[in-house]
Every structure is written in structure tokens, then in C-alpha cells.
Amino acid sequence: MKGIWYYDKIFSRHNPGAGHPENVQRINAIQRSIEERSLDKKLHFLPCPEVDESHIFQVHETDYVQSVLATRGKTHRFDADTCTSPDTVEALLRASGAATSAVDQVIENKDSFAFCALRPPGHHATANRAMGFCFFNHVAIAANYATQKHGCKRVLIFDPDVHHGNGTQDIFYQRDDVLYVSIHQSPFYPGTGSISEMGQGAGEGYNINLPLPLGQGDEEYLFLTQSVLIPVIQKYQPDLIIFSAGFDAHAQDPLGQMNITSQGFLNLYSPIIQLAQERKIPFFFALEGGYSPQALSESIVLIVQSLLDEKISSLPAAPANRHNQKIMDYLSQNLKLLH
């Protein structure tokens, strides 16, 4: 496949404060690894345009958007973990611009995938609140853009970040044109994402949460992908798949308490990607969490390299280990009943 890569130097100038886990070392490690593996010679680099602000206002409330834009050139703390610096607003606009541009590219070029190596992340940003390192919800803006610009009637967002993407859930909770699926650690920040949170009104049944206790790893994540997510995709038949790509469920991550390996992330995505390729469903990745620069960059390189070399292959369904089989069975059976 043709690989499209989005990155802008402005992302390295967002500075949420000394000692913050969401720091420039994350994006620097990714770029360095891409170059060390010579993937930069295989990828097609595209500029990150500033997003048309009207697309932000379609997802976030007006007063809130204006409050974020007003911090341009300033340092402003929205909460204990979420702080702008003088260049943050430009980084946000280009991050959302990268995500909307990626929608255009993968829909118009069916043999392509895109990876948006952006920061700050976005999936905790609700319609009216900055939180969890996030200000604008880039994935939500991109999904909504796909429905408006390209007429997509079914967009699927898959979010395996260790933290539940409460913002993305909140934004689409009453809509049936965007199906949100999250696998996350629970109980954990931000405290949302129970299996019973299914959506409301038109969106009832279009919000699927797979909360897991700490300590789960490659087998459990692949099991849920095969037993839940693949059947969901087959039935929903999305026009576009967006990976809200968090890597903080990695065993080396300092914030999460899960045990996925770098190879495990490739295994997690492989069955979904193969199904997307078979059915010609466009897809792209937008970076969310992941706070071990080494684990983050290693995981991304494995996925990108496999896509470029066309070595993505569906894996046999992995049985969860005996200790966690009851958890997996509970999730699978109750999801079928609920949805």
C-alpha cells in the first residue's frame, strides 16, 4: 500500500510543562525511528494544513472553541494536566487539519493508508471541555468531516488507548452515523466507558465499550478484536475506519497498567486492516496516547513497516488465557445481549 505520513514541526513546540508525560520526546522518537528504518524513503510526506475552523465548530461548542483559540500565543491551564503554551493553538489547528486531510487522501486513494503523527492528542476533549492532555478532538472532527464532505453514512472509530475516549463517546453518543468502539483499562481515568454506555436516541447501540481490568495483554486484546470487533465491522459495513491510535496499553508505558507488546499492537490491528483491505474500506491512524517513547515508536514502526511491505495478515482467533477467560466470555456474551 501507499503510505501517507502527516507530521509538522509545530507539534514539537506544544509544551504543556516540565515533566509532563505528553512531551516532545514522544513525537521526536517516532520521527527518529521512521528515519532510522529508512521508512521516510517509502512514505509520502504531506503537509499538515490548518483546519477550516468551521469543522471544529461543528463538533465543539462555540464558546469553548473561542476560549481555546483565545490562548494563541499564551500559556493557559485548563486543568491540572491540560495546559497550552504559545504555539499550542497552531499545533491544534494543524493536527485537526492533518486528520481531515487524511480523510480526503484515503477516501480518494483507495490503495493508500495514512498515519497522522500529531500532538496534542484529542480523544478526551468533549464538546465543551479540555481535559486529559486534549483540547480539540481531532478524530471526532475528522469523522464528522467525513460525513459532511464525503457523504459517509457509517464511520467506525476504533480506540484501543488505555484510557477511555470519553470525549469521542460524548460527541457521537446520540448519532448512528459514527460507531465508536473502545477497549480500555477499567477502573481508570477518566472513569467512563462502562459496558452499559451504549448511546442514546438514534445513537443507541452505536457505542461499544470493552472495559478490561488491569494486566491484560496480547491474547486478550486479540481475542476481543476477533470475537467482537470483526463481527461488528462485518455487520456495520463502515465507509471509513479511523484508528484513534493510543499505545499506552503497552507493557512499558508509565501511565497504563496493561501488558500489550509492540508485536501485540500489530497483531491487534492486523485482522481489522485485512478486513478493510478485502472490503476496500479506507482507513487511517491518528495518534493519541503512548508515553514510553521507545515502546510508542517501536509499535508504530512495526505497523507502518508491515503495511508498506504488505505483510499484514489476519491471525487465527487467540484464546484468552485461562485466568481471564471468564472476563472475555462475560464481555462477549453481554455485548451480544445489549447490542
The dihedrals phi and psi of 172, each to the nearest 5 degrees, come to -110, 15
> For the chain, where are the alpha helices, taking DSSP H only?
24-36, 53-57, 62-69, 88-108, 138-149, 166-172, 218-224, 230-236, 262-278, 293-308, 325-338
**Cis peptide preceding 211, ω within 30 of 0:** no
> How far apart, in whole angstroms, are the C-alpha atoms of residue 194 and residue 208?
9
Residue from 123, 124, 163, 250 carrying the catalytic annotation = 124
Specify whether 44 is catalytic.
no
Question: Are 83 and 75 contacting, i.e. CB atoms less than 8 angstroms apart?
Answer: yes
Q: Using CB atoms within 10 A of its CB, is residue 90 exposed (0-12), middle (13-18) or buried (19+)?
A: middle
| CA 9 – CA 49 distance, rounded (Å) | 12
Instruction: Give 5's strand partners.
Output: 45, 115
Whether residue 178 contacts residue 161, with contact meaning beta carbons closer than 8 Å, is answered with: no
Q: Is the peptide bond before 254 cis (omega within 30 degrees of 0)?
A: no
Contact assessment for residue 152 and residue 104, using Cβ atoms and an 8 Å cutoff: no
Could you tell me the CA-to-CA distances from 202 to 148, 163, 172, 175 in Å, in that order? 18, 26, 10, 5
Ramachandran angles phi, psi of 30, nearest 5°: -65, -50
3-state secondary structure of 79: strand
CB atoms within 10 A of CB 93: 21
Active site positions, annotated = 124
